[in-house]
Structure 1
Amino acid sequence: MAIVAPGKGRAIIENQGADLRITIPARTELFTTAFLGVWLIAWAFGEIFVPYTFLIALSDKPVPPSARLFAAVWFAGWTLGGMWALSIFLWNVAGKEIIELTSTTLKYRKQIPIFSRSREYAIASIAGLRAASRAQAFWPLPFNMNMAPLSFRDGTIAFDYGRDTYHLGSGLDEADARYVIAEMCKRVKSLCRDAGQTSG
């Protein structure tokens, strides 16, 4: 039986002069990506068919106001649901997390090809940088998808910021998170206070 090769981790760490840049590619879940890829084709058909039906095909026919209202509400929900599904699909295909660390700030960005969200934290207010256990999936397998890929509520790196706790590194295993924390602490010594602890 062959010995399992040690993992190389997902985090890509780059030294940029006085700054540290950490890029974490999203974890690709093949079933989720394939399922949503097919579903989004049906979603796109609905996005085209419903407006065409009411604006063109039925433009010269009497349509009850209740039917138009139902169609408008349904279309709004369909559009929002599709955008949510598209964000999950794009996250699986090309999503990534980017952490940029300087001596005074920690910038954190989660991005997909068409959109990104970011936050910035003051180093002086960060305490208790640590590895945290990965949260349990909301859906059982095979529907183990990231339900909110651009949220800031998950990740295996945690730190306290005032009386709140924030998370980074949703694509990292705990061992990889500890390695990233060590690299961050090498660059900014003040982050080493209470670093390396593991929380459940």
Structure 2
Amino acid sequence: MHISASNERFTIAEGATETSVRVPSFKNIFFILFIGAWLVGWYLGETSAIRTLTSGVDDANRTFTMFWLAGWTLGGIWAVITIAWQLLGYEILTIDHHSLTQRIEVLGIGINKTYRLQDVRDLRTAPYNLSVFSNQKVAMPPLFGAGHGAISFDYGSRAIFIGASMDETEAKKVIAAFQRFLPQVPKAFAT
């Protein structure tokens, strides 16, 4: 059996003042189908609870239904965001002479995390398993915490992880593209 080499799933745009990498989210068809089916049930539960609350019937369980509906609605929002991330999401990594920025974006709407480049140390690859069954974080957008991904760096006393949908080989190519912006620390002072 002949196996062809795969192409990168990301694009690199190198300019005079910055380099930007656009990485599509990792797609897991099982996860997308499962959450999509779950959303059908979610919709039925949501509309049923809303009908119960707006029917005007004085129900002894009204308070419980209101709290349940609030939690159920948050669960639905999480599911929609997760599917949107899976289908339409991008992680955009941009480096210039002053900062390294990670943008998590779906349809142009996103969140930026910007790190001062002078505080970024030891940009490196971090072995990472993209299997949703062994690491379910990859199925969701990396919005909170230090992140997860194939690229890591020290930032103060924390290790930060970016490049959630990359594998180690892709991460090496991105790090190589970022090298010209990284401050050169003499080996005697490297931590």
TM-score (norm. length: structure 1): 0.83
Q: Partner residue of 2:84?
A: 90
Describe the superposition over 1:125-176 as per-residue Cα deviations: whole angstroms up to 9, x where unpaired: 1101000011586x737x9563542335201100001111111100000011
Q: Partner residue of 1:155?
A: 149
Q: Partner residue of 2:53?
A: 54
Cα offset, 1:192, TM superposition: 8.2
Q: Return the alpha-carbon distance in structure 2 between the equivalents of residues 158 and 145 of structure 1.
A: 16
Superposition pairs of residues 182-193 of structure 1, within 5 angstroms = 182-185=176-179, 187-190=180-183
> What one-letter code is carried by the residue in structure 2 that aligns with 1:74?
W
1:109 aligns with 2:103: yes
Structure 2: 5+ residue stretches without partners: none
In structure 2, the CA distance between the partners of 1:53 and 1:189, relative to structure 1 (3 Å rule), is: closer
Q: The residue matched to 1:17 in structure 2 has which SS? A: coil
Structure 1: 5+ residue stretches without partners: 195-200
Q: The residue matched to 1:177 in structure 2 has which SS? A: helix
Q: 1:24, 1:96 within 8 Å by CA — same for their partners in 2?
A: yes
Count of matched residue pairs: 185
Q: 1:127, 1:193 within 8 Å by CA — same for their partners in 2?
A: no
Cα offset, 1:82, TM superposition: 1.2
Q: Partner residue of 2:126?
A: 132
Percent sequence identity over matched residues?
27
Q: Partner residue of 1:34?
A: 33
What is the Cα-based RMSD across aligned positions, in Å?
A: 2.4
Q: Partner residue of 1:21?
A: 20
* Aligned match for 1:171, one of 165, 171, 183: 165
| Over 6 Å off, 4+ runs | 191-194
> What one-letter code is carried by the residue in structure 1 that aligns with 2:62?
R
Q: Return the alpha-carbon distance in structure 1 between the equivalents of residues 113 and 153 of structure 2.
A: 14
Q: Which structure has the higher relative contact order (CA within 8 Å, separation 6+)?
A: 1
1:71 aligns with 2:65: yes
In structure 2, the CA distance between the partners of 1:27 and 1:193, relative to structure 1 (3 Å rule), is: farther
Q: 1:157, 1:168 within 8 Å by CA — same for their partners in 2?
A: yes
